[in-house]
Structure 1
Amino acid sequence: MNLIIRLIVSTLAVLVAAHLIPGVVVANFTTAVVVAIVLGILNTFLKPVLQILALPITILTLGLFYFVINVLIIYLAAYLVSGFRVDGFIAALLFGFVVSVVSAILGMFLD
């Protein structure tokens, strides 16, 4: 049950971020659900590998390269999901930030 609630929260966060940020397009609610699932899978399996491989660069940039990894994950999700489009680095960066903040706020109310 908790997994379904988290999926709904992530889906709402994706919809809010797509509504707020110009350059991010989510075609419909079903696409937002798929984006939430794909982002969850990529963040679970691919992101830790990328973080370990990029650890020297991340240390050198004092952690700022971590944002580049987030943007790459969002670009990959946009490539994998039809109906989800991100136009530009700044849009992807803001999308990741808004999704994180909205998920955290909605998660506080649900816990």
Structure 2
Amino acid sequence: MIKVILKILVVAASLWVATQVVDGITVASGDTTKQIGTLLAVALIFGIINTLLKPIIKVVGCAFYVLTLGLFALVVNAGLLYLTSWIAGKIDLPFHVDGFWAAFWGAIIIGIVSWLLDLILGVND
């Protein structure tokens, strides 16, 4: 249970970095407390989406992963981030991704920051 909570915190921190680095990814909450709450909620949504959809997409799109030497994963991650933004909008969370390219670069930033934080904190040990 601790690893799940730690993973949500890592993804929330990665989402925050993406909002700071990528134009087009925004958290429109006013104060810091609301921003943290929004990022934690979005991290939870992103984790659920990744847990449920990513294995299905990998099986169905296996040929694309092989043909592109894994680069198709970047497109899939961008799509999942964009889907997370759409769901967040439907439940009135002030998190928004402005289009595919913002999602694409955001997914790369989130992946790198999450990997580094996982490495430092030993989440996957």
TM > 0.5 fold call: yes
Superposed counterparts of 1:1-111, under 5 Å: 1-27=2-28, 28-82=35-89, 83-111=94-122
Identity of aligned residues (%): 34
Give CA deviations for 1:67-105 in whole Å, capped at 9, x if unaligned: 221111111101100311111222111111111111122
Structure 2 distance, partners of 1:3, 1:58, is 28
In structure 2, the gaps of 5 or more residues are: 29-34
Superposed structure 1 runs of 4+ greater than 6 Å apart = none
Change beyond 3 A, Cα 1:72–1:4: same
Matching residue's letter, 2:121: L
In structure 1, the gaps of 5 or more residues are: none
Structure 1 distance, partners of 2:18, 2:113, is 8
Structure 1 distance, partners of 2:68, 2:12, is 32
Q: Does the 8 A contact of 2:10 with 2:114 survive in 1?
A: yes
Q: Give the secondary-structure state (helix, strand or coil) at the position aligned to 1:25.
A: strand
Deviation of 1:63 (Å): 2.8
Q: Which deviates the most, 4-13 or 16-25?
A: 4-13
Question: What TM-score does the superposition give when structure 2 sets the normalisation length?
Answer: 0.80
Q: Does the 8 A contact of 1:78 with 1:86 survive in 2?
A: yes
Change beyond 3 A, Cα 1:57–1:2: closer
Aligned residues: CA RMSD: 1.5
Matching residue's letter, 1:100: G
